[in-house]
Every structure is written in C-alpha cells, then in structure tokens.
Amino acid sequence: MNALRIPPEVAAALAAGRPVVALESTLVAHGLPRPENLAVAREVEAIVREEGAVPATVGVIGGVATVGLDDAELERIASSPEVPKLSARDLPLAVAAGSDGATTVASTAVLAARAGIRLFATGGLGGVHREARESWDESADLLTLSRTPVAVVCAGVKSILDVAATLERLETLGVTVVGFRTRRFPGFYLSDSGHPLDWAVDSPEQAAAVIAAQQALGQSAALVIANPIPPERQLDPALHDRVLTAGLAELRRQGIHGKEVTPFLLAHFRQATAGASLQVNVEIIRNNARLAARIARAWSEHGAGRG
Ligand code: PSU
Ligand code: MN
C-alpha cells in the first residue's frame, strides 16, 4: 500500500541533511478563509525557501499521506470546502478510504517525524478547551506531542483555550516548552498569555542545541518553541477579551462541539474583529515559518539527526 509519499525534493534534502520545515494543512483548509488561505499557504512556503530551507506542507491526497504537497495539491486542499480535518487517529481511515484530508498539528507531527523532518511550523497549538471539565475536549495535539520527536514553532496555544490547563497538561505529558527570546508564554493573538515560562532560548542555534540534547538523551517527546507576535502587532487585548466572551456564548448557544469548535471560534474572531484577527493570525504563521526555517538551518549545521 502506498500510504506515505515523500516527493523527491524533500527526500533529497532529508537524505543530504539539508534543512526542511514541515507545515500543516488544517490551518489552511479550516483555520483561514478561502480564497486567502491558498495565498497564505504559498507565501509561507516561499518564506521557508527564502530562509534556505525546503518547505513540506503535509496533507492527504487520494489516500496518500503526502509530506510535501505540490502546488496543485495545495490548491486542492485549500479550495475544497469538503476536505476533512484529520487528527492522527483519522490518518489510517483517510488512507484506507482513498480520501483527501487536511492534517492538524497532531497528524502533521506524526507524518513529519515518520519522514524524518524535525522542524515544524504552525500558528497555535490545540490544547485544553475552556469547560473541558464537562466536555472532556482536549486537543489530540497534546498527547501526540508527548510521543513525537518534532520541534514545533508556534505562538503558544490558541487563546480560545484554557491556557493554564494546557500548560499543566504539557508538563504532565513531558513536552519540553521553551520561549523564543521570552519567558512569557505567548497567547496566539496576544503576545503574552499571562503565564510565565521557566526557559528561554535567544537564537536559532540555541534552539537547535536543545533538539540535539533531546536526541542525545534519547527523549522522544516534542519541543514546543513558543514565538510570540511582537506586542505592537498583537490584537487589542480588550477587543480580544470581548470577542472571546461573545464567541464562547455563541458556541454554547449553537451547541457546537468536537472538531468544529476551533474553526468556529477562529471564524467568529475574524468576523467580530472585521478581519483584524486574520491579519494577526497570518502574521503569526509567517513569523513561525521564518523562525522554523532558521532553526532548521542551525540544526542542519549541527549535523541534523546524525549527532
Ligand atoms: N494554528 C492556526 N490555525 C489553526 C490551527 C493552528 O493558526 O486552525 C489548527 C491546527 O491544525 C491545530 C488545530 O492542530 O487547529 C486544533 O484543533 P482541535 O482543537 O480540534 O484539536
Ligand atoms: Mn477537540
């Protein structure tokens, strides 16, 4: 069965130890509105290239988990309104069914690790939802990161979540978390979630050294590299809090649950902030892709995977 495909450009870069950055496709298909989503997906790949790394956007095409979508495949994932959101557990079902699918942080991490890609950029991780005590809604991103050796550059976890509970879960699950030039955990749309971090790195080289140490110690959990949006570019915190309160009330009123929750709240933010949240979200993704590519280069110079 041809379940996994790594196109030649990505395979060659990996074989030669050159820098590669995995990118996810759920944020393209379900996190950003059409048609801007396709432009953002292409731009982010271009940023990774500009920084001297090979981009590998991950998705499932006709039942083949593909680590490095070509432009036509990227367009297919970005423009189809029906493409399913696949977490790690959904991958075998989509493969066996011959389906297309967009991959979340969890499923992208699994496929990137399987392909031998260490660096991965996204917007914000999934995590523990507010009211999780009743709903039990905790993103599979967390458990997956506990057993998947990738380094994920993100702007923390989405601020629609219970950030404190998510940080506790990351600790329990043994996921290493480090701030990039900060000891404050970022809040996705906001530069600071209000929660401190114990550790920070100041350069791509230092981040690569942490990855090398994880490997040397035989640890197989992920590294979360938390990269905040600069404060002058964040969403206005007062607006953020108002919009979030209204969005959570609307979620309850409409009885939305499961994997619809995250896309619903992101769309609510876009509409209620007249697109300001979209600007911030796109900027976060750009910044994270750039940093991931720089770390991938430092990691490659470190002797990627060979140390
Ligand atoms: N980052 C973004 N936008 C997104 C996501 C991340 O800027 O839409 C996606 C990721 O794919 C992440 C998912 O894995 O949201 C979390 O979904 P859930 O809460 O249903 O696990
Ligand atoms: Mn969920």
Q: Domain-by-domain residue ranges, the chain?
A: 4-301
pLDDT (tens digit per residue) in 177-214? 999 999 999 999 999 999 999 999 999 999 999 999 99
Residue bearing the CA closest to ligand 1, atom 17: 126
Give yes or no for a cis peptide into 84 (omega within 30° of 0): no
pLDDT averaged over every residue in the chain = 96
pLDDT (tens digit per residue) in 205-260? 999 999 999 999 999 999 999 999 999 999 999 999 999 999 999 999 999 989 99
Q: What is the dihedral of CA 139, 259, 281, 47, to 10 degrees?
A: 80
* Nearest-angstrom CA–CA distance, 304 and 302: 6
CATH topology of domain 4-301: Indigoidine synthase fold (3.40.1790)
Determine the atom of ligand 1 nearest the C-alpha atom of 262: 19
Of all ligands present, the nearest one to the C-alpha of 153 is 1
Of all ligands present, the nearest one to the C-alpha of 257 is 2
Run of H or E residues at 138: none
Residues designated as active site: 24, 158
Model pTM greater than 0.95? yes
Outline where the chain has alpha helix (H). Answer: 8-15, 26, 36-50, 71-79, 91-97, 105-115, 132-135, 140-146, 163-172, 204-216, 237-254, 261-272, 276-301
pLDDT at 12: 98
Confidence of residue 159 (pLDDT cuts 50, 70, 90): confident
Query: Ligand 1 centre from 216 Cα, in Å?
Result: 30
Burial code of 23-52, b = ≥16 C-beta within 10 A, e = fewer?
A: bbbbbbbbbbeeeebbebbbebbebbeebe
Residue bearing the CA closest to ligand 1, atom 1: 123
* Nearest-angstrom CA–CA distance, 103 and 73: 13
Confirm if 78 and 38 have CB atoms less than 8 A apart. yes
Using CA of residue 110, residue 113, residue 5, residue 104, what is the dihedral sign?
A: positive
pLDDT (tens digit per residue) in 162-173? 999 999 999 999
Confidence of residue 306 (pLDDT cuts 50, 70, 90): low
Q: Three-state DSSP class for 100?
A: coil
Confirm if 293 and 51 have CB atoms less than 8 A apart. yes
Q: Is 27 in the pocket of ligand 1 (CB under 6 A)?
A: yes
Confirm if 20 and 119 have CB atoms less than 8 A apart. yes
* Nearest-angstrom CA–CA distance, 277 and 265: 11
Confidence of residue 8 (pLDDT cuts 50, 70, 90): very high
Q: Is 162 in the pocket of ligand 1 (CB under 6 A)?
A: no
Choose one of 103, 141, 284 to mutate for the ligand 1 pocket test, by most ligand atoms within 8 angstroms of C-beta: 141
pLDDT exceeds 90 at position 303? no
* Nearest-angstrom CA–CA distance, 297 and 300: 5
Read off the tokens for 180.
């990039």
